[in-house]
Each structure stands twice: as C-alpha cells, then as structure tokens.
Structure 1
Amino acid sequence: MAIQTAGEQKYYDFIEERARSLRTGMIIWISLLAAALIAVFNSPVIGAALAAAGVLLAVLNVRNQRALRAKLSGIGDRADFFNQLIAPDTVEVPAFRLLVAREYVLSFRNDVFIYRLDDMDKVEVGLGRGGEKALFLTDRSGERHEIARSGGKDDPEFDRAYSAVRERLAPAGR
C-alpha cells in the first residue's frame, strides 16, 4: 500500500516495528524456500524439510500480514481516521506506544490495537503490587482492554495518557 498522506505516514510509523518483523519473517521464509530448492539436489530429505519449514513460515507470515492490514477494516472513514492522527489535539505518549486521537485510541503492545472511543464505556486505572499501574479502556460489554502499564508510582507519562483518554471520553458523557 502506497502512503499518500501525512496521517497514513503517522500510522505506518506507529506500526513500524510490527511491519519490520513481518518483513523479516518474509525474508526468512523466502530464504528457506531458496535453500530448499538448492538442497533438494544434494539431499532430497533435507530439501523437503527446508521446504516444509519454509511453507509453514510463509503461511504464518501471510496470515499475520493480513491480520495487520485488517486492523484498519473496522475504520469507517479512513481519511478522517488518518486526519485525526495528525491533528494538533492528538496526544502521543511514546513511553507507552500510545496515540490518543479525537475518536480513537491506538495502542501498540505485542500487536497494534485500535479502539474506537464511541465503543468504550469508561477508562480505569488498575493498581498492582509495588506501585504498578495499568490503564484500561472498558467497553460497553464490560471487557477491559489494557492500553498502558507503568512500573512506578509517580509517572507523569502515565498521568498524561490517563488525562488524554479521560478527556476524550468525557464529551460524550461517558
């Protein structure tokens, strides 16, 4: 997909780590298939084993690439979504890999998660042992989605993330 707007660039910069790992995975499975092609002439058994591993990795990699592209499928108006990402009121909290836009919260932990604020009921802070704090968005069905986690008691970045999400949920009376 060609990047055409600053908002798209912002989104792809946000998911860069995940996209890079998928590209690396693609290089690995292509290399395995190439090695299998070469090895099959010397040892058919080794060639077959390399080919099987390459095909398995290819299937997993393609599935993960599709899943990453599908993250945007729930977005109704993509142009508006990308414009929100570059809007001056969008809050970015790099410490937690979090973007808080007018209608969306983007969180990157092990994967990219896009939460529509209209689907959320409230924002909560969970406290753990040793002063650990977690920031959750709770949807209307009561399911909690962790969007940030802090190890320390006094973390201004955590407070900034909480304030930004709370501000965005407040206008709709949530």
Structure 2
Amino acid sequence: MSYTEQEKERALKLYDEIGSIGKVINKLGYPSRQNMCTWIRNRNIAQTRKQVDCSDFPDHRRHPSLETKLNILHRCFECGEDILSVSEDTGYSRTSIYLWRRKDLAGGSIELMSKKKHLPRGPLEPETIESDTTQVELMDKIKKLELENDILKETIKVLKKEEGIDCDRRCPEK
C-alpha cells in the first residue's frame, strides 16, 4: 500500500513522541511494522548523511599541498590527535588522511603502492640517507645514459649521410 508524505510524517512524528512502533500502529491503524521500520531507517540515513562538497576554494583545496598534508599527518600521528576530529576540523576525510600516511608523504616520496598497510602512530620517519644517495646515483646514471644516447643518434646521422654533389669533381667525358 502506498502512503502519502503527510501520512509518513504524521506516523514518524507520533513515533518520536511515543517511541514505540507498535503503539503508533495501534493508534493510527497504519502502516505495517516493516513500513514503519523502513521510514525510520530512511529518515535517519537522510539526517546523518553529509553532503559532499567538491568545490575547490583557496582555503580548502580539493588537492591539498604537501605542506597541508604533512601538517595534518603531524597532528594525527605525532601529536596523537584523534583522526576523526582532525578530519572534521580540516574538512579532509579520514580515508584521505590514512592514504597520505600509507603513501609515506613524510619522506617526500609518493609511492603508488606501499607494502605497509597499517602504520603505527609515532613520529614520522624521514627517508634514510641511503635513499637520498640512491636517488642521486640514479640521476647521474640517467644523465650519462642521455648523453650516450645523444652521441649515438648523432653518429647514426653522420653514417647515414650520403655524399653530396662535388662541383670540382667532374665526370669523365666520353
């Protein structure tokens, strides 16, 4: 059976006053227990569900800067603030905060996937010196390989070049 919005509102209002589904049904003569439970559940979902704000404002960026992320991570994992309260305070979801932590933004490197699933609270550990030296070594190797590649390309161009017409050299006459 289909009920009007006014009937639903009347039943929900009476339920708020009485606090009993059975008494509401006895007093009004409608709805079924299942309908009443559904109305209550749907009303509670509508009240608790927050609207997602996807707008991008200068004071709250959709994609925050590294500094903002590190500040939030510092508050959550070093200072020990509750992640839910930091999330509500900053406007970034708890999921985002956990993802930033998992991606190890504190070290300055963003990995696509991290093997560390559950990181304990505590000071954010900066990357070790070994990783810095490895990064420098890799950059040097890239520069050397790019130089080698450029030299080989020029060598190939020179070898492919055909002899041009020489004006001083004449063909033998017949």
TM-score normalised to structure 1 length:
0.23
Q: Comparing both chains, which one has the higher relative contact order based on Cα–Cα distances under 8 Å and sequence gaps of 6 or more?
A: 1
**More strand per residue: 1 or 2?**
1
In our comparison, the structure showing a higher alpha carbon Rg is 2
